[in-house]
Structure 1
């Protein structure tokens, strides 16, 4: 007799709870792998360059990973929808681990860049797979609780990544910054293989992958990421290379939209954007990525240059931001699970982001660490209200068959927002620092570098050092004012979210939620509310039939 034979109320409770928790642990390890990698590598880069050389190609170590992740994200989501989530997710873990092992064995910078692209290819599937599997296993009303945990994992990676990376590099060597993924990945691989059992998907034999759409989307995303990465740094914004990339990106994305309207099985079904909530959450995801990654880039610079903090523990400098984000994400997930309502969180999150970013823009050379920590905590609370809500509502606004593309689209928009945020805020920051340095007589040579490490800063004459500190204050002021404007836009967009109460069993004392097993049971077919919102899981009572 199976669980489905005896019905949900008679099924053994504790085994279900344990199996769900084991699967969630494996998913959290996989998410940690994807998020932790870039944070660890950042602190190891000076050592890597010292051994492998190739300083002129340093930026490509990160860019190749980001490009591969962004370009592969929508494809992984669609493959999961077509061929089944578990197999595709396991494949992404294996590819990520292969890329990690090869990166650790790289003998020159060219090899490292190529192997980092392999890593990024797998990382795209890791992030999408985690969110899509949660969407498959957990009813909509309870997803907030678990996706809040994933937001906590993201915060943990961003806080601990640089610290772990520095420790590993100092004691074991930079190659272990990559090898450390192997035991963690092996544990996740074993746990997912043994415990996760999702329903097999029956696929029409005539279904074909939309290769043309995938190729056009990959070219378009690649061009966008390269424009935001190279613009204002490698090339001037009005240079021929940047203009050509913009033209290629626009043409590829226009062609992609044309192809997707006619494809039998599109990579990104355009009908998912007919849901108002899904479209609104896509915009919010982009704006969140813009603000969050811009803030995490400039806050350590300010605290190191102006407040005299050590670069060694740069990850710890963001603790107030990440703790605020993590705690509020967990609270928002619990409240959403208890009430089934979520509209208040995007609005509240937008308001808190506006306040937090505006306060950060007012920091000056005399601002204390305690004061800046309070400002960061406010911004973190705003991000915490939004991070898990955007994914939750995006998934709940589509049918089960589109769960993968919904998850990948939400992830992609956030990734693109990150690229634009880092590029635009970075360009503004750099320009203001250079202008201020020249105006204060800090020296033309110093003005050419908008980012000085603590050692370089200490070597400057006192007048030049003070000029640089004022210049950094000016740069962060401009960058965070721009972020404030973006946050105001997110606050306004949040009012367009339509409150459609999430369905699914209410939580019980054990935290098991609906009792959805991660074992052999198949999640019930999706049912739909207005505005195209989908729900899974069994309600305590039959849902009324809609006219």
Structure 2
């Protein structure tokens, strides 16, 4: 059982903003690093070779980020939030340097995997630290800023990557170097302004739980990332990885029940709010990453836009996400009511999937922008509020595990969305193109039906090019249609959430196990400031 050596410090608004600035810079660098490489991949492959390893450059960081998220929460309980957050920043910086200096694809993939470890720590611990510093009642306004940064970074990454690759004197290696200065500044800011009390905890690490949880997630991620690309869905690899993931998942349940200090305490899954928030976050992750990854493909392949131009077309998403994330956070802080926002958010997410599925080859930019804005509104109303709801229902002793758990399921959903949507797109594209060629009595060009970069697609001869664009649009329709029932599932999950009153003091909690349904009412704001080292 954890015991505090000193009372939890109470921070002034200015101190919280300084800490928030450091967290936001770290989040900005972490999220940009996961998406900036996308537009640079063709150039990287041209320089380093290894076309058959292309998917690993994108998948390696996503794999380690998702698998490591629960571990960072536990390590922060043992060694301290500040030390682990700065360690994640250090890992991220060193891995980014390594990625930029890579001389072959193997080195780049290894560096990206290590980079993902750092990103996993930054994305999870930023929310944990915010939960430590700010009482739940006041957390909405600050969480809104974090959500806005998440959206801006995710969308700005491809745009920044396209700009860097196209700029003389920079090149693709600067896609990894560009985030380093912000990460260093974030390290120094956190070192200066963050002061948390020293906490005595059981220092035993749940090694069996760590192995089974990360192993199960890793096997599932490998299956989803490589299935249909590196090996057929109906293959020995598919069944083997699926079986390994299932066996390790079952073993993790056994391990966490036996562990004295589990990484994901079983009592979390007795907490109705945590379970429903995790399910909703999984669905949001699927829809969010699916939309953000495959919408640029529509813009570049079907509409013929450059990477930079397609990035600009996602600005409505950023604006919608920023306005609703910050606005809902302010309202939650003033009223203490939060449930309406994720409920409305999932409605908007589902609506955006329906609207995006109606796009065709001659859709106007105005229509595309409006559809994308609807998705941004939905994500802004949902993501940070779900974490806030889970934190509010958790005892301080399991705050890190709760936050890391919700983040883990959102990241897992993102990985599942990218992989599953990619498989659907590939299968539907092949089927649609085959049918279209048969109906139009058109034969494939000498280069075959394998599609390359957007420039190569637009260089195809007519009428084959027109059939490709039409088939690609229909395939994307299927992708976004799959997002609708996923959004409905998330909507049902948030609808079942019980709106617990937001606590006014971070020192109070819902119950001894963090799974009570009756948090204490908001306490009056206190004025002492945080001091000490």
Q: State TM-score, norm by structure 1.
A: 0.89
Q: Distance in 1 between matches of 2:443 and 2:195?
A: 63
Aligned residue for 1:63?
59
**CA contact 1:438–1:447 (8 Å) conserved in 2:** no
Asked if 1:284 is matched to 2:267, the reply is no
Aligned residue for 1:520?
none
**CA contact 2:320–2:374 (8 Å) conserved in 1:** yes
Q: Distance in 2 between matches of 1:345 and 1:433?
A: 36
Aligned residue for 2:463?
463
Aligned residue for 1:201?
199
Aligned residue for 2:153?
157
Deviation at 1:535, TM superposition (A): 6.6
CA, structure 1 residues 112+306, in 2 after alignment: closer, same or farther (shift >3 Å)? Answer: closer
The structure 1 residue matched to 2:23, chosen from 12, 27, 43, is 27
CA, structure 1 residues 541+182, in 2 after alignment: closer, same or farther (shift >3 Å)? Answer: closer
CA, structure 1 residues 447+217, in 2 after alignment: closer, same or farther (shift >3 Å)? Answer: farther
Q: Distance in 1 between matches of 2:469 and 2:504?
A: 54
Q: Deviations over 1:229-288 (max 9, x none)?
A: 011121111110111000000001100101111111111101012111111000000000
**CA contact 2:137–2:522 (8 Å) conserved in 1:** no
Deviation at 1:309, TM superposition (A): 2.2
**CA contact 2:283–2:410 (8 Å) conserved in 1:** yes
The structure 2 residue matched to 1:214, chosen from 207, 210, 214, is 210
CA, structure 1 residues 335+434, in 2 after alignment: closer, same or farther (shift >3 Å)? Answer: same
**CA contact 1:268–1:405 (8 Å) conserved in 2:** yes
Deviation at 1:528, TM superposition (A): 4.2
Aligned residue for 1:184?
182
**CA contact 1:399–1:533 (8 Å) conserved in 2:** no
Return 531-540 or 25-34, whichever deviates more: 531-540
Give the SS at the match of 1:532: coil
**CA contact 1:361–1:480 (8 Å) conserved in 2:** yes
Aligned residue for 2:529?
none
Q: Distance in 2 between matches of 1:297 and 1:527?
A: 38
CA, structure 1 residues 304+109, in 2 after alignment: closer, same or farther (shift >3 Å)? Answer: closer
**CA contact 2:62–2:415 (8 Å) conserved in 1:** no
Aligned residue for 2:516?
532
CA, structure 1 residues 191+236, in 2 after alignment: closer, same or farther (shift >3 Å)? Answer: same
Deviation at 1:48, TM superposition (A): 2.1
Q: Distance in 2 between matches of 1:46 and 1:167?
A: 14
**CA contact 1:142–1:504 (8 Å) conserved in 2:** yes
Q: Deviations over 1:408-428 (max 9, x none)?
A: 111110111112212222222
Q: Deviations over 1:164-223 (max 9, x none)?
A: 22222333122222222221111111111111001111124xx41010110111110100
Give runs of aligned pairs for residues 326-475 of structure 1, distance below 5 A: 326-441=322-437, 443=443, 448-449=449-450, 452-475=452-475
Asked if 1:262 is matched to 2:246, the reply is no
Deviation at 1:447, TM superposition (A): 7.6
Aligned residue for 2:504?
504
Return 166-175 or 319-328, whichever deviates more: 166-175
Asked if 1:487 is matched to 2:483, the reply is no
Q: Distance in 2 between matches of 1:336 and 1:447?
A: 56
Deviation at 1:159, TM superposition (A): 2.6
Asked if 1:293 is matched to 2:293, the reply is no
Which runs of 5 or more residues in structure 2 are unaligned? 1-5, 527-533
Q: Distance in 2 between matches of 1:464 and 1:431?
A: 19
Q: Distance in 1 between matches of 2:402 and 2:210?
A: 16
Which runs of 5 or more residues in structure 1 are unaligned? 9-14, 506-522, 543-547
Q: Deviations over 1:370-426 (max 9, x none)?
A: 112112211221121111111111111211111111111111101111122122222
Give the SS at the match of 2:360: coil
CA, structure 1 residues 410+164, in 2 after alignment: closer, same or farther (shift >3 Å)? Answer: same
Q: Distance in 2 between matches of 1:176 and 1:354?
A: 37
**CA contact 1:357–1:481 (8 Å) conserved in 2:** yes
Deviation at 1:95, TM superposition (A): 1.0
Deviation at 1:55, TM superposition (A): 2.1
**CA contact 1:92–1:122 (8 Å) conserved in 2:** yes
Aligned residue for 2:81?
85
**CA contact 2:500–2:519 (8 Å) conserved in 1:** no
- RMSD of equivalent CA atoms: 2.3
Q: Distance in 1 between matches of 2:426 and 2:448?
A: 9
Aligned residue for 1:124?
120
**CA contact 1:351–1:491 (8 Å) conserved in 2:** yes
